[in-house]
Structure 1
């Protein structure tokens, strides 16, 4: 595996995960504040400081394991605290706060696709594609794109502490919320079963198949954008040389 052969690639992939997670959590905090709740702000979560957001297991151990095992990157950070009672329109705003994180990952992936196209065009035009700096930059942008789509899809799984559970909960009726609370009490064993036991014992990786299947389609679309930007920029650069 490439990241095992060169520590630089491991550091670049870790950096991609950390940046994606920090922006993800910051987005939750910003939207909660915009919707009228200052809890996250008061807790110091409106910051780009990774120490305020990262979770030792979800942000370090889990993504490293998923890197070495293969498949999509699995990771989560410390949940952003907020008080639903402070939201201006509680039912709507709870969904908006929960969606903010995954939406930020999709936006980050889109930006990465555009920047990757620009980087590759410059690399070919000026001959630094095979330099250490050039290949590292392209590797980082590619992984930043893929990592963000993986994180978006993983966090949309409707299982606590992931965002998917917070998205669907306000939309449920009282009976549905009661079922949700019952599932929530069993969330950790269900999570461990899906992430570790099924893939390692039964060789059934449901989460990996979901992320690679759906993520593959989204990533293909984004790479098409990358190629379009790359071709356009290359023509402009070569025309100006």
Structure 2
């Protein structure tokens, strides 16, 4: 039986529409070379696209929860794709954007609030948790489609580099989200299948799970291994290390990283 939602509860928010508009306009500017600063256009395009993906990530959690029995997500505005409606807007939007800007990594954010006691089946709990990072996987597939379809003819170089960096963000976010660490979606996938005692012992780690992962990424060996996996997956999708590196260099237009990625415009 389908779940009925009111018109206001399912209407896409003007905030989200505005973000999509910024993504579209700046994407056009990168494609056509209209902007006097290619780097600035890439920065705005990738940032807007990243925020769009974060909104879709959280929407996927909420929509799956709705169809699993948690009707409260309607009242909280999660179905409107409005990033300002999230329970932890700082964790869901602000911190991931900052980590992307300064760290070049797609770090997962906080989740929407789900009333888990309304959901009865373990597989539904797992699916709710998996829905978010699966959105990042889908976004990565779309971003890399021109690469693995060998359809790059006619695609401007700056736009190709921007897509490569955006794909890196999505792949890294998907991997991190699927880690079985308390507080991350990967743990949410397996948690319903763990014993009660084990879940109780691991529960205190949930608030700091993300910080633990972030701290581990500062260890050179862990960082090198992680990004090695990311680049291997990107390579399988047709994206070279150079392309994602050049996308990152264009994105951080305020820095002067070097001349490996000179582009016109």
TM-score, normalised by the number of residues in structure 2: 0.64
Match for residue 145 of structure 1? 167
Match for residue 26 of structure 2? none
Please tell me whether the aligned partners of residues 84 and 94 of structure 1 are also in contact (alpha carbons under 8 angstroms): yes
Match for residue 202 of structure 2? 180
Match for residue 19 of structure 1? 52
Match for 2:93 among 59, 62, 65?
59
Match for 1:223 among 203, 217, 238?
238
SS of alignment partner, residue 69 of structure 2? coil
Correspondences of 1:80-229 after superposition (within 5 Å): 80-87=112-119, 89-115=120-146, 117=149, 120-123=152-155, 129=156, 135=158, 137-184=159-206, 187-188=207-208, 191-196=210-215, 199=218, 203-204=219-220, 206=222, 208-209=223-224, 211-223=226-238
Structure 2: give runs of 5+ residues left out of the alignment: 1-37, 240-265
How many residues of Structure 1 are paired with residues of Structure 2 in the alignment?
Answer: 201
TM-score, normalised by the number of residues in structure 1: 0.70
- How far residue 58 of structure 1 moved from its aligned partner, in angstroms, is 4.8
Deviations 1:156-196 (A, max 9, x none): 22334321221121110122112212433xx42x6435424
- How far residue 83 of structure 1 moved from its aligned partner, in angstroms, is 2.0
Change (3 A) 1:68 1:28: same
SS of alignment partner, residue 65 of structure 2? helix
Change (3 A) 1:191 1:204: farther
- How far residue 61 of structure 1 moved from its aligned partner, in angstroms, is 3.5
Structure 1: give runs of 5+ residues left out of the alignment: 124-128, 225-241
- How far residue 68 of structure 1 moved from its aligned partner, in angstroms, is 2.5
Please tell me whether the aligned partners of residues 92 and 111 of structure 2 are also in contact (alpha carbons under 8 angstroms): no
Deviations 1:29-86 (A, max 9, x none): 111112222122221101233333472245223442454345x32231x422222232
Runs of 4+ in 1 over 6 A off after TM superposition: none
Change (3 A) 1:57 1:26: closer
**Residue 68 in structure 1 maps to residue 68 in structure 2:** no
Q: Which has the higher helix share?
A: 1
- How far residue 205 of structure 1 moved from its aligned partner, in angstroms, is 6.0
Q: Distance in 1 between the 2:217 and 2:154 partners?
A: 44
